Amino acid sequence: MSHRPDDRRGLVGTRAAFTPWVMLLALTSGFALSQAYRTVAAIMAPQLQAEFALDPQALGTFAATFHFSFGLLQLFTGICIDLYGVRRTALVAFPLAIVGSLLSAVTDRFALLLAGQALIGIGCAPAFLVCTVFIAQRFPASRYASVSGIVLGIGGLGMLATGTPLAWLIEAASWRAGFVALAGVSALAWLAIAWVVRDPPARHSDGERESIVQALRGFASLFAIPHSWGILALALVSYASFVALRGLWLGPLLVERYGFSLVASGNVAVAVSIASMIGPPLFGRFDPGPATRRRWLLAGTLASAVLFALLVPGFGAAFDVTVSIVYSLLFGYGILQYADVRDAYPAAMTGRALSLFTMALFLGVALMQWLTGAAASAAVAAGVPPFAAAFALIASMLAAGALLFARLPQPPR
């Protein structure tokens, strides 16, 4: 009994020490759901095509709408976080994802389905950015990379959910049940953020706070820096190629080209997702540094182009599945892009440079998914296998991005 006061003080101290982790876990639940939303098309595609009579171009538009709205909001999201804080930005935006998911679940019109995807993209726009800002606010700078890696790993669970579990739910019920389930889990994540997340006390300064117009001018100034264009060229195709495979074409490829069941294709999607979760920590651990990092990025992009070219002919189910998994592991090289952006700009510009880079990543996803859908539709009309056209286009875009990254002006050393 005499030890109880000390025990209570110890318990309080322990709870205080773990509070930032609890808050970060709540924010990461929103990030995991954004990962789920952006990859549902690969598993829902067969039923969506059947119910709405979608051609490949329309399917590409469906998948691209989330990423277009998500990417377009990145700059505005960064400004809102600076002005209003992590908690308020997340709580105001995320309900739009819930509304969009429910709208997608109940509509029988393709235009409203696209509107639902746009709302989901807007609602999820702050999902990863609030995590990175929170880490910068609450954790030592020396732990930024390691804690960010943990967030990326946990966030990958969202992609696992849209593999076998979502495929099973869709086969047992329908694709609409998938959106209802995601809306329900999203509501729980919103409640968790509202319950445990708190912003740090505002820092007062003698100077005036930067206005939205001034912040936008600061972002615009990045385009006047010559080496920004090579960075953006690679950003537009690197992440987009992975999401085009995992988030759009993987399911249709396995179901239509090789006759896989939806659950079997979901199992492959889980394997691809796990490989994509292993790659970033590996490449991050062996970052070669600024002297040779850009060579690694160039080599990784060209190797990715070769792997997509190998998917064009359709050498067999086992071959295509193996190539998809190998590429997803190699895709981890993209984590080096964040370090490249960080080293390419002065410290005062790093935050807005990363925001612009993130926007380019997701606008690139929207562009690639729309273009591959258009290419697949044109291929069908010409009597060419649609997947051959889609993967050939992805390989070509990766090669073009690598060429521009290598030839455009480089950051000063």
User: Smallest Cα–Cα separation from 324: which of 371, 376, 276?
Assistant: 276
Say if 264 falls within a structural domain: yes
- Three-class SS of residue 260? coil
User: Smallest Cα–Cα separation from 212: which of 82, 17, 28, 314?
Assistant: 82
* 276 within 8 A of 159, measured Cβ to Cβ: yes
Distances, alpha carbon 251 to alpha carbons 63, 202, 255, in Å: 13, 47, 6
CATH assignment at residue 171: 1.20.1250.20
Say if 5 falls within a structural domain: no
Q: Which secondary structure element, helix H or strand E, spans residue 157, and what is its range?
A: helix 157-161
- The token duo for 355 is 């925001």
Say if 55 falls within a structural domain: yes
Q: Which structural domain, as residue segments, surrounds residue 317?
A: 17-197+222-407
Say if 413 falls within a structural domain: no
Tens place of pLDDT per residue across the chain (413 aa): 444 444 443 333 444 434 899 999 999 999 999 999 998 988 898 899 999 999 988 999 998 999 999 988 988 887 888 778 899 999 999 999 999 999 999 999 999 999 999 999 999 999 988 888 888 788 886 676 667 777 887 888 999 999 889 999 999 999 999 999 999 999 999 999 999 999 887 654 445 666 667 777 777 888 999 999 999 999 999 999 999 999 889 989 999 999 999 999 999 999 999 998 888 878 877 778 888 989 999 999 999 999 999 999 999 999 999 999 999 999 988 888 887 887 888 867 776 787 788 889 989 998 999 999 999 999 999 988 899 999 999 999 999 999 999 999 999 87
pTM confidence score: 0.80
Say if 2 falls within a structural domain: no
Q: In the chain, how many domains are there?
A: 1
Say if 161 falls within a structural domain: yes
pLDDT tens per residue across span 16-43 = 434 899 999 999 999 999 999 998 988 8
- The token duo for 114 is 């696209």
36 class by beta-carbon count within 10 Å (0-12 exposed, 13-18 middle, 19+ buried): buried
C-alpha 290/C-alpha 272 separation (Å) is 29
pLDDT tens per residue across span 185-205 = 999 999 999 999 998 876 544
